[in-house]
Structure 1
Amino acid sequence: MPSSPYSSARQVRLAIAERLREIMRDAGYNGRSLAEAADWHESKSSRLLHAKTLPSNEDLRTWCQVCGALDQVDDLISMSRTAESMYVEWKRLHRTGLKQLQESKVPLYETTRLHRVYCSQLVPGFLQTPEYAWALLKMFGNFHNAPDDLEAAVAARIARNALLRRPGYRFKFLLEEQVLRHQIGDPSVMRAQLDHLLAVAKLPSTSIGIIPVTTPRRLWALEAFNIFDDNLIQVELLTATVNVTQPSEIALYIKGFADMAAMAVVGAPAKRLIHAAKQDFL
């Protein structure tokens, strides 16, 4: 697996920083003298050169203007937008509310024919009951200070789950066993959620694999991630969602998913684990 869940975005940031360094050197500047010419604090140039900060469009224009390289501004802005779209903070995504966040993903879901999901802590959104989704989104919204549109957000999440029953779509879910026991909501919410997993597992489009805690590991537990066909990986962190588009990294996530699947149980053994977890909430 990649050494960092946001390594693709990091590589683009480093590439931008390297381009800025080349432009600066070609113009005969160093970090201090460029900062003086741009009327910046020297620390700002340092942050940009070491990819600590993603430059704004205005930063890029100023840099190129000082260095006499305005012909390179458009390329740099394009690279910056790519890096920005790869690593998107949750606070930006839910600025207009949790409902909008749910609905914004629908076009991607509708164009994905094979959707693979790995979760180590929570039941995936596609498998959630309204009550579980309510408890989880309320927790998420409170933590991130999101606008309070919880009822509409839950309705939007459940509505998009109709894709599970639409012809032409396939879903493969891999859950660590502890997902079944991490209590979201009260015990009755968890009992209903586990019953729902048993029901959804019967759908012809859906496969649910569970990785028992007693299984010898071929790969350690990871952050939750989604694989959209073979084209895009989305990794969910506490602070952001990461879009991985580099083919070599996508291949590693697909390999990681396959390794996880080899550890998972499906069918009757998976149902036994779900029933056993349900007993914990009686």
Structure 2
Amino acid sequence: MSTDFQQARESLGVRLKELRHSCPGGPLTGAQLAEKLRWPHSKVSKLENGRQTATSNDLRAWAEATGQPKATEELTSRLVGLESHVRSWRRQLSSGHKAVQVGINAEFSRTSVFHAWEGAMIVGQLQTADYARHIFTRYANLHESPRDTEDAVRARLQRQEGLYQAGKKYRIIMWEAALHTLVCPPSVLAAQLDRLAGVIGLDTVELGIVPFSAPLKIPPANAFWVLDERVAIVEDWHAELWLDDTPSITTYMKVWNTLQSSAVYGAKAQNVIHAARRALNAH
């Protein structure tokens, strides 16, 4: 996936270089273009060589500075194609978290079977409003994004309507660590754990917990969703990956099945959740 992304970024860089060389008034050197744009020369070089991802504003400025403003639409289209797989949080969160939640809600609404793995926090589909509020606040702090916390919380909770829709199936597994992570006050986590225990038994939800004591065939790593085995959505610190190629989806399903083999369900899962709930008394 990173190779495909890098190739697309390098291809965009080649096109940028072509525009610099084909200016109506004659070709510009990299230094001349950088001066015209009031950019460091290194930025021009990095964009042309695929070592930096352009923004839409960068592309518009480049097209105008090379005297070819009509190229803006083409360049922007290339960027959209590039980011259809790698969606940086910096861009996604430029207007806040609500827009991201609304976008994922649309994808979830057309999905019937969900596979999810989460190792560090309660999976979004099962979060309470208070828990979600603390999660959004912490990520807004990290990415220095606009604060639209309440709108984001409402959008995330709207997604939970799917838990009560016939025909949908949520196959969710979480590491026990997610039950103990204090990304919120203990009282909020306690209510969240009560909520988590309450979804066990819903006919649309298969909730498995991988206990600390369970032997693991692979290390627990990034959180991800696989939607109807047509797309895998993977979260990283810098970006969200949307993978729709068969080899990648196959890999994530293999990861899910491998981790799932260590999970406990039903009464055993309830016991793990209740133990985490009791442990909060120490805080």
Pairwise same-fold verdict (TM > 0.5): yes
Summarize the alignment of residues 5-20 of structure 1 with structure 2, pairs less than 5 Å apart.
6=2, 8-14=4-10, 16=12
1:69: which partner in 2? none
Quick one: structure 1 residues 7 and 268, their matched pair in 2 at CA, closer, same or farther if it must change by over 3 Å? farther
Bigger mean CA offset, 37-46 vs 85-94? 37-46
State the distance in 1 between where 2:131 and 2:278 align: 18
Mapped pair 1:259 → 2:258: yes
Q: How does 1:153-232 map to 2 (within 5 A)?
A: 153-232=152-231
Deviations 1:97-144 (A, max 9, x none): 323332222111101111111111010111111121122222222332
| 1:198–1:274 Cα contact (<8 Å) kept | yes
Q: Distance in 1 between matches of 2:189 and 2:275?
A: 12
Cα 1:100–1:54 shift into 2, 3 Å: closer
> Deviation at 1:36?
6.5
Deviations 1:217-245 (A, max 9, x none): 21111111111111211111223212222
* Alpha carbons 1:8, 1:86 under 8 Å: kept: no
Q: Secondary structure at the match of 1:281?
A: helix
Report if aligned partners of 1:118, 1:226 keep a CA contact under 8 Å in 2. Answer: yes
Query: What does residue range 74-153 of structure 1 map to in structure 2 within 5 Å?
Result: 78-153=77-152
Taking the aligned partners of 1:160 and 1:272, their CA distance within structure 2 comes to: 27
SS of 1:222's equivalent in the other structure is coil
Q: Which runs of 5+ in 2 are unaligned?
A: 23-27
Deviation at 1:15, TM superposition (A): 5.0
Cα gap change, 1:54/1:98 in structure 2, threshold over 3 Å: closer, same or farther? closer
- Secondary structure of 1:94's counterpart equals helix
What is the distance in 2 between the residues matched to 1:75 and 1:206? 44
* 1:9 positional shift: 2.6
Report the Cα offset of residue 93 of structure 1: 1.9
**1:263 partner letter:** S
Q: Secondary structure of 1:216's partner?
A: coil
1:39: how far off? 6.8
Contact kept? 2:222, 2:234, Cα under 8 Å:
yes
Aligned-pair distance for 1:8? 4.5
Higher relative contact order (CA 8 A, sep 6+): 1
TM-score by length of 1: 0.80
Q: Which amino acid aligns with 2:233?
A: Q
**Separation in structure 2 between the aligned mates of residue 44 and residue 133 of structure 1, nearest angstrom:** 38
Q: Say whether the 8 Å CA contact 1:35–1:44 is kept in structure 2.
A: no
| Structure 1 unmatched runs, 5+ | 28-32, 67-71
Q: In structure 2, what is the Cα distance between the partners aligned to 1:277 and 1:39? A: 57
Q: 3-state DSSP class of the match of 2:181?
A: coil
Displacement, 1:206? 0.6
SS at match of 2:258: helix
SS at match of 1:141: helix
Structure-2 change in CA distance of 1:250 and 1:106 (3 Å): same
Alignment partner of 2:30 out of 32, 35, 40: 35
What SS class does the counterpart of residue 280 from structure 1 fall into?
helix
Distance in structure 2 (CA, Å) of the matches to 1:39 and 1:135:
42
Distance in 1 separating the partners of 2:4 and 2:225: 16
Identity %: 27
TM-score by length of 2: 0.80
Which stretch has the larger CA shift, 174-183 or 128-137? 128-137
- CA distance in structure 2 between the aligned counterparts of 1:150 and 1:78, rounded to whole angstroms: 31
Residues 88-97 or 35-44, more deviating: 35-44
